[in-house]
Structure 1
């Protein structure tokens, strides 16, 4: 079988790490000397069962957490899906319109939503910790959130729509509509997908998710997905914003994304 993405961590201490990562001493000790399926299961045992916040607006919920994880220095939220900018406002609140007051075809303001990069339909729609996991949640404008829907992430071969951030159209590897992020965030989303199949490898993948996932402990990604996401991780290595977000999520829910801490871990 072709090697997928997991390298050995026998020399974890010498692997290149993120720019300013503050990895707690001993956090990854149980991964040393492992590779392949054994390594992925050890990662699962290290990062599983996060203490996720509640979902939605309000104290100690998603928007409360986004205040720490996704606020930019100018007081707006980082929107990875389009160029629309939204002021953060009161902590725990959800922005009801962007800075320019953009409206949709119905004349309604475009608002911010909580976007599941890895849609809940791919694991059957159950809620709880997997649904609330901050490593899979990002602030997004509701217009792009709706357009992206539960589509698989792939390289778009035939573009239907492109707002300069998110492309939608027929896929290169999937014969149906897919979505493709802007180059700046290709690695971010790929590392997020790697996290999800590791932290939640005890779940069964269903429906559209089976276009790029298999129900096995390793490698889980279909070969095309492993190759593409690995390529995107190499082309878009973690920047300081992604590293700082990893630290912020760790402070909130007590687990880390190892694919951010160790960018060569694929």
Structure 2
């Protein structure tokens, strides 16, 4: 009897989901035409909400991956798929199966060239759980090269920055991502769909487009840029094909593909005003021996809708250069081309005193808000030696971990092109107490010893979550709680995975032949835990005479 009931329930579900009679585009929007502003937005939301959901993974039925393959298929060869951003055409079966799959043997391609699913509205911006409706909404899921997907991360959308080597015409900076021209409009219309589809009713988040970058939570930017991209890259045949495929499965459409004019009726026409920008808000040189010029740090100055030259200026001991000319320059101008500037410059630091330097680089143009970039550096003794340098590019760099409580531990991780050590006690079996401990440092014959590092964190807990300590008593392999540790006061990240420099910590009082630095992680409960990341740990000192 139970089996019969299950079969009946399944048939009812199947008929409910698949008993779908498609209508023409004209019929779909017949109650919408003539509206504008908030009434249009509300009517579109009611029209496209409540779509049919498909699982992210499925061993037996249709999953989002299957719909993506059909929607982004190469119309000239149905064995291939066209990857978003890169535009590369490759076998649709060359999919990302995780790190333990033998890609070279199975596919004859490296792991980096496999494709996975890109959430164009990054899932960390409002719906991090797979059960969230937006997580599986195929209208904003695209096939992407896994390396390119990782490089994009959860950046907002805006103009300019460093060019991504793997994708011609794709640029990025510290908080934004510019896709190639051929998909700029695609991005814009997917973002407009998401903002209207998810208005905070039911179990969904209220997704909002803001006119800025550096957003977090259920917000995304940059609205004015997306409005420009919508016009610059009109709807094409591939977008219309994709919309039809998804409609046949989800039973809802992206209205901004069918009716591009809806964009201006809701958000207005894009306004043109000059903007200048930078690839990093802070440029940090770290420790530099006095009297010696640093290696150059590459920086990108960008701008759009410009009407006059862009001027860059700074002052000694920082200076700039252009096109491999190492002659010190303190003022530089760029002439826009068709209103755009995107130029690489080199910045140098040459201290003449043993002090901490902080200065400002100014970027200005007529009609644009002047931007300020903080320049930082530390002049050190010319005889200083590097005693510890851990960037974690290739792994643990000799560091070790010790778990005092909980089943979570420190691990090596990466995001984009950055590698670091990471710890989170979220969903552990109990509150965690975990140590990340440096290799032994012999500081006995050194003076002027300086420690520095960077941290990033996300999520909040009742506990601060991270302490930085130093000890002359720790022995490798023992419980670190059995040694005496001194807590070091330093600057730590404020959150949202924004990296923060510790400052220069003087540890000259710990001149011993067995010194260890440690990062101690704690959290209050398995359901409430901060994620902490540690990178670029450096210790320098001057050998005593």
What RMSD, in angstroms, separates the aligned Cα atoms of the two structures? 3.2
Measured in 2, the distance between the counterparts of 1:141 and 1:132 equals 19
Structure with larger RCO (C-alpha < 8 A, sep 6+): 1
Alignment partner of 2:125: what SS? helix
Q: What is the aligned residue count?
A: 226
Query: How many Å separate the matches in 2 of 1:164 and 1:49?
Result: 36
Answer whether contact 1:162 1:168 (CA < 8 A) is retained. no
Which structure 2 residues correspond to residues 94-109 of structure 1 after superposition, within 5 A?
A: 94=95, 101-103=108-110, 108-109=111-112
Contact residue 187 and residue 232 of structure 1 kept, 8 A:
yes
2:65 maps to 1:68: no
Which string of whole-angstrom CA distances, capped at 9 and with x for unpartnered residues, describes residues 22-42 of structure 1?
834531123233211111111
Cross-structure match for 1:261:
258
CA contact (8 A) 2:112 2:146 kept: no
**2-structure distance, mates of 1:214, 1:177:** 11
CA displacement, residues 33-57 of structure 1 (integer Å, 9 cap, x when unaligned): 3211111111100001110221136
Greater share of helix residues, 1 or 2?
1
Q: How far 1:160 sits from its partner (Å)?
A: 5.3
Match of 2:206 in 1: 204
- 1:41 matches 2:38: no
Q: CA deviation at 1:102?
A: 4.4
2:167 is the counterpart of 1:169: no
Whether the 8 Å CA contact 1:121–1:150 is kept in 2: the answer is: yes
Contiguous gaps of at least 5 residues in structure 1: 1-21, 171-175
C-alpha deviation, 1:101, in angstroms = 4.2
Q: 1:50 to 1:43 in 2, by over 3 A?
A: same
Q: Distance in 2 between matches of 1:49 and 1:76?
A: 31
Give unpaired runs (5+ residues) of structure 2.
1-22, 98-102, 264-545
The corresponding residue for 2:277 is: none
Match of 1:4 in 2: none
**Whole-angstrom CA distance in 1 between matches of 2:113 and 2:166:** 15
CA drift of 1:120 comes to 1.1
Equivalent position to 1:111, from 114, 122, 140? 114
More strand by share: 2
Q: What are the within-5 Å matches in structure 2 for residues 209-228 of structure 1?
A: 211=213, 225-228=222-225
SS in 1 for 2:92: coil
For 2:157, what is the secondary structure of its paired residue?
Answer: coil
Instruction: Give the drift of 1:80.
Output: 1.5
Choose the corresponding residue for 1:238, options 235, 249, 272.
235
Contact kept? 1:86, 1:95, Cα under 8 Å: no
- TM-score, length-scaled by structure 2: 0.38
